[in-house]
Structure 1
């Protein structure tokens, strides 16, 4: 009998760019539906991440002043228990600082 239970996997990223890449990995490599993936600030403050990247970086190399760099970004999704190891690897490849499951 196959194990069809689900697990919530959560990963923390330093930049919004890395979190967005992780979402693409979840959708394209693992077939997880976008509405089943959640992105939020790791704190109660609005944040684009803890470091400038992508659109948060200015052409001069520094951080834009209008990008709220108030902390890390959390990506979470409910996945099949059989996908845990593969999803953990993908999240790590996308730049996750921490990955946990419950």
Structure 2
């Protein structure tokens, strides 16, 4: 989104479980469209985070190659609520541009 009324906000998470929780908070609590929320590795490799959680906790081969980044295009009016949703889900390094 390139219009001046939105910013891209992102945060990193230690586990995929926390990243998924952040997405649900953004969609359900902040009303952000799911199509405006993105999940990707913070580094280049596919990853389940930096520590196991959920189903990864029972696997010996979980791909733990770095944190997971969640980003979303957010209206200025929703930035504080979105930051709160990220932090409630366990975010590290919440940023916006």
Runs of 4+ that moved beyond 3 A: none
- What are structure 1's unaligned runs of at least 5 residues? 59-63
Confirm or deny that 1:73 pairs with 2:68.
Answer: yes
Q: Deviations over 1:27-48 (max 9, x none)?
A: 1001111111000000001101
Q: Larger Rg: 1 or 2?
A: 1
After TM superposition, give the deviation of residue 98 of structure 1 in Å: 1.3
- Aligned-pair Cα RMSD in Å: 1.0
After TM superposition, give the deviation of residue 55 of structure 1 in Å: 1.0
After TM superposition, give the deviation of residue 66 of structure 1 in Å: 2.7
After TM superposition, give the deviation of residue 67 of structure 1 in Å: 1.4
SS in 1 for 2:95: strand
- What are structure 2's unaligned runs of at least 5 residues? none
Structure 1 CA distance, aligned partners of 2:54 and 2:12? 17
Q: TM-score under structure 1 normalisation? A: 0.88
Structure 1 CA distance, aligned partners of 2:15 and 2:76? 27
Structure 2 CA distance, aligned partners of 1:30 and 1:70? 30
The size of the alignment, in residue pairs, is: 94
Q: TM-score under structure 2 normalisation? A: 0.93
Structure 2 CA distance, aligned partners of 1:96 and 1:75? 9
Structure 2 CA distance, aligned partners of 1:86 and 1:27? 11
Structure 1 CA distance, aligned partners of 2:34 and 2:62? 25
